Amino acid sequence: MIGPEFVEQANKELDGVLSRPESERFHRLLATDAEAAKYFESLRATLAAVDAVEEPDPPAQLESRILGAIPWGQHRPHSPARGRATFRTWWIFTPKLRYAVTFLFGVLFGLIVYTSIVYNTDQGPGGLDDSDFYGTMRYINNTDGFQETHSVGVNLDQVTGHVRLHEADRVLLAEVSLESAGEIEWVLQYDESDVSFEGFRQFEGRAGDVHAKGTETRIYQTGEARYMLFFSRKHHKITPITIKIFSADQLLLEQPLTPSAAREQ
Amino acid sequence: MKAQNDAILVDECLKGDNRAFETIVRKYEKPIYNLAFRMVRDPDDAADITQTVFVKAYEKLDSYNPAHQFFSWVYRMAVNESINFCKRKKRMDTYESGITFVVKATPERDFRAAELSEFIGDAISQLKIDYRLVLVLKHYHDFSYQEIGEVLQIDEKTVKSRLYTARQQLKEILEKEGIRG
């Protein structure tokens, strides 16, 4: 009779974890019990078939794809770095400012979460996943209530992609999806009496520092990246937001993004 | 030794050495991809999951506790990503067919082996995800009961129970299909 104890012994024998005396005792049982021997042989054959299936190789480009997606620079030695590490260096080495800015970001984050609740934004299928959180805001993958009001295609030698403006009643979303061979800098400029920058969410590409002040938001990127920037509008009619793209301090593109209310004027 | 090397690589990465993480990627890319592939049975989806696992591992590297095995930590991420993917896609029990398995076989057994492997792939995909996980980790990653327990954060007794059940169900499925190893 095949009972749970025999099944366990059979599995352990096949896994090679029975001691020698246990294994000998098990095989003596098999020699005297045809049903047990048949079960064991069937299980052995099943596992042999499972083990015979070889693992497939990953796609050839997977390694480079993974390395290209890693947001390098997140883990850095605590020493002054060259070039554009000034924001991060300042952040790390200025405790008072760090605490102050942390507090302000905390307040800002709280406001964003509160706003998302107040305006009853959808949480999307499966709810929110903190592990996907990246940036200063949660992007809700739901365009309900938003309307794309302006789209600009970018098709230059150094950079391609698109910039789109989505609008809701009191919110503007600027979607910037660009791909470049080298490092580029792009800037969104706006009138601070019209809108205020509330946060951003990066979806793809390497993380770059985001520098925001009253009238502009500036981001550096290399390769492919997609950002969603979130602005609250202070009143209905607002002046255009301008995007500028630079490469090595050379202006490649300057394009106004016109909110619908501004175009109605 | 393996764990010690991983701990050194993680430490170097946290000090800003990107090459250390590249070494980690090269070391674990194939097993993570294979784990994902066994779970989702789609090469493109498995590649996406693998990429996500490494990006998250890099981002969360400073939360890794060196007191534990690094491979358990990164495998756990892969398991969670695979499960989340299955749930998102709602394909836990309705996988598409057509995945090709490569089977070790002598030339004269090629046809039989290929046919058999397809049945096995189908049969494994019919198992509940908990059973499938322990079977995959045991048979395709050579993990011990203890290591499977660490990855899945369950005790060894549960590992054995799930593994034996998975094998029993797999045996029954294959027998029902008239398959003998």
User: How would you label B75-94 residue by residue, b for 16+ Cβ within 10 Å and e otherwise?
Assistant: bbbbbebbbbbbeeeebbee
B98 close to A (CB below 8 A): no
pLDDT category, B114, cuts 50, 70, 90? low
For residue A2, name the pLDDT band (cuts at 50, 70, 90). confident
pLDDT value of position A132:
44
B55 and B112 belong to one structural domain: no
Of the pLDDT bands very low, low, confident and very high (cuts 50, 70, 90), residue A226 is: confident
| pLDDT at residue A80, as a whole number | 42
- Residue A38 CA: distances (Å) to CA of A33, A77, A117, B165, B175: 9, 62, 63, 18, 13
Q: Distance (Å, rounded) from C-alpha A82 to C-alpha A183? A: 15
CB contact under 8 A, B47 and A62: yes
| CATH among 2.130.10.10, 3.60.20.10, 3.40.109.10, 2.60.40.1170 for A130-263 | 2.60.40.1170
ipTM score for this prediction: 0.82
Q: Which residue of B has its CA nearest to A48?
A: B181
Q: Can you give the pLDDT at residue A204?
A: 64
Size of interface A-B (CB pairs under 8 A): 128
| Residues, chain B | 181
| Structure tokens belonging to residue A205 | 């590409």
Residues B83, B102, single domain; the answer is no
pLDDT band, very low/low/confident/very high, at A206 (cuts 50, 70, 90): low
> What's the domain range around B127?
97-181
Q: Indicate whether B71 and B135 sit together in one domain.
A: no
Interval B37-51 mean pLDDT? 90
Residue B91 has a pLDDT of 41
Least confident of A105-119, A151-165, B23-37, B76-90: A105-119
- Where in chain A are the domains? 4-51, 130-263
CATH of the domain at B53: 1.10.1740.10
Q: Nearest 10 degrees: CA dihedral of B139, B142, B143, B145?
A: 60
User: Is 0.80 topped by the overall pTM?
Assistant: no
Which candidate, B144, B179, B150, B177, places its Cα nearest to that of B163? B144
pLDDT band at B101 (very low <50, low <70, confident <90, very high): very low
Tracing tokens 């079977």 back to the chain, one arrives at B135
CB-CB under 8 Å, A51 with B168: no
Helix (H, G, I), strand (E, B) or coil at B103: strand
Dump pLDDT digits (tens) for A104-152. 888 888 887 777 665 544 444 444 444 444 555 555 555 566 788 888 8
